[in-house]
Structure 1
Amino acid sequence: MLTIHAAPLVLPVGAAAVADGAVAVDGDRIAAFGPYEEVVAAYPAARVRRWPGLLTPGLRQDRALELLTRCYHPDPRESDELGELPLRGEEFERLAATMDTARRAGSVRRGLQRMLRHGTTHLAGPLNAEDPALRTAVSRSGLVLVPPSPARSGPPDLDPFAAGGDLARTAGAPLTVGGRADLAVFDVPDESALYGGGPRPCVATVLAGRLVHRSR
């Protein structure tokens, strides 16, 4: 089914920003993007999803290996004991010492799901292909594996923007007609609000044309 994703501002990366823009998605591919009125006129039968804020390409998570293998992502049922944020460092090491295969696999799956909630559609490698829990979860997720990025210092963060860098550096791939439909939507007023320490709520993530996260 053909769907149009519309937002007050579309930032394709590699092309000019489009105010009151839209992206038409046909299956797992981008059929068109541009001003909303033009895209709707070209695809009048398409379902329209309207989003607030900015529509961007899906993002790339540069610290995927650390987040999935050196962090524990608590189950919601463990929140009273462990909280909701990823556990790393000594806290992770204590858990890992007694963690069975099923619990570890659950953490990997939840880590991938939480990446989607931050607009991630691409994972920078390398990922350990010999790790069955990691290999299976990543394969089933549909996330795109891309070559490694330059090493970053500091603790890993589920938010791809947390380590710095603008959208051009953080996007998985620019929006292009015929390209894979990987999109992220952020409820912020302009591009500058994606950077720095302020909140940047991701309200939707589209992975290969599928709406895999929405917060409203």
Structure 2
Amino acid sequence: MPTIHAADLLVTGDRRLSVPGGAVLVDGRELAALGSYEELVAAHPTARVRRWPGLLTPGLVNRYGPELLAQAYHPDPREADELGTEPITGEGLAALAMTEARWGASARRGVQRMFAHGTVAVAGALWRPAVVDAVRRAGLTETERSADPVGPPALDPLAGRGLAAAIPRPLPSVGGDATFAVFDVPDEAALAERGAAACVATVLGGRLVYRGR
């Protein structure tokens, strides 16, 4: 069933003007239309409606794909008492018995944490087979990076940069993949202040892969 995703403000990620009270129409994998909520509801009265608070934007790219997925271990919640909940790197990682199966499970958990930050793509070469398989099964796009990013690896793709720099591609007007994120903030300035942890929904190829509320 076609679904209208509506938010307080729609940001396309290019030179098109933002749309207050904007919405997108998702039909299968495809973003079939975008515009004001009133226009889309009038044109598609039988579509299901999902209303989100805040800002609807294109999905984001995380620059630290290898560092967060192939060089860090994301503990299973059942390991929290022993290992904590934050990614383990360096000497802590060296002390773990990492098999390909364990790398794959870690990457799947890492991908879910990325979805919770509006991430739909990762930059950098992923060389571990289990990690590559986890990323591709999840549907994340893999991109090259022109230079190594500056600063410590962060799950927040907005850490140290603005929204425009974190958008790999703008929302299509019609016909492209329905891939976007929604953040519970009123505008881009508030998003820069709060970061991508304000994400309340991530849609990847028409699938709702993360819902925070």
What's the TM-score once normalised by structure 2's chain length?
Answer: 0.93
After superposition, the Cα gap between the structure-2 partners of 1:190 and 1:200, relative to the gap in structure 1 and judged at 3 Å, is: farther
Q: Could you tell me how far 1:199 is from its partner in structure 2?
A: 7.2
Q: Is 2:4–2:49's contact at 8 Å kept on the other side of the alignment?
A: yes
Whole-Å Cα distance in 1 between the matches of residues 179 and 48 of structure 2? 17
Residue of structure 2 equivalent to 1:180? 177
Whole-Å Cα distance in 2 between the matches of residues 57 and 7 of structure 1? 13
Whole-Å Cα distance in 2 between the matches of residues 169 and 158 of structure 1? 15
1:121-155 alpha-carbon deviations (Å, 9 max, x no partner): 11223222xx3202211121111122324321222
SS in 2 for 1:206: strand
Aligned residues: 211
Residue of structure 2 equivalent to 1:171? 167
SS in 1 for 2:8: strand
Q: Could you tell me how far 1:106 is from its partner in structure 2?
A: 1.0
Q: Is 2:183–2:196's contact at 8 Å kept on the other side of the alignment?
A: no
Q: Is 2:56–2:181's contact at 8 Å kept on the other side of the alignment?
A: yes
Q: Does 1:79 align with 2:75?
A: no
Moved more, 62-71 or 194-203: 194-203
After superposition, the Cα gap between the structure-2 partners of 1:199 and 1:212, relative to the gap in structure 1 and judged at 3 Å, is: closer
Whole-Å Cα distance in 2 between the matches of residues 67 and 145 of structure 1? 14
Whole-Å Cα distance in 1 between the matches of residues 198 and 88 of structure 2? 22
Whole-Å Cα distance in 2 between the matches of residues 88 and 28 of structure 1? 36
1:100-179 to structure 2, matched below 5 A, reads: 100-128=99-127, 131-162=128-159, 164-176=160-172, 177-179=174-176
SS in 1 for 2:105: helix
1:44-94 alpha-carbon deviations (Å, 9 max, x no partner): 111100000111111101111111111110100011121111112222222
SS in 2 for 1:195: helix
Q: Is 1:124–1:149's contact at 8 Å kept on the other side of the alignment?
A: no
Corresponding letter in the other structure for 1:173 = R
Moved more, 194-203 or 117-126: 194-203
Q: What do you get for the CA RMSD once the two structures are aligned?
A: 1.5
Corresponding letter in the other structure for 1:93 = A
SS in 1 for 2:21: strand
Whole-Å Cα distance in 1 between the matches of residues 180 and 5 of structure 2? 9
Whole-Å Cα distance in 2 between the matches of residues 16 and 150 of structure 1? 31
Q: Is 2:158–2:196's contact at 8 Å kept on the other side of the alignment?
A: no
Identity of aligned residues (%): 56
Q: Which runs of 5+ in 2 are unaligned?
A: none
SS in 1 for 2:156: coil
After superposition, the Cα gap between the structure-2 partners of 1:111 and 1:183, relative to the gap in structure 1 and judged at 3 Å, is: same
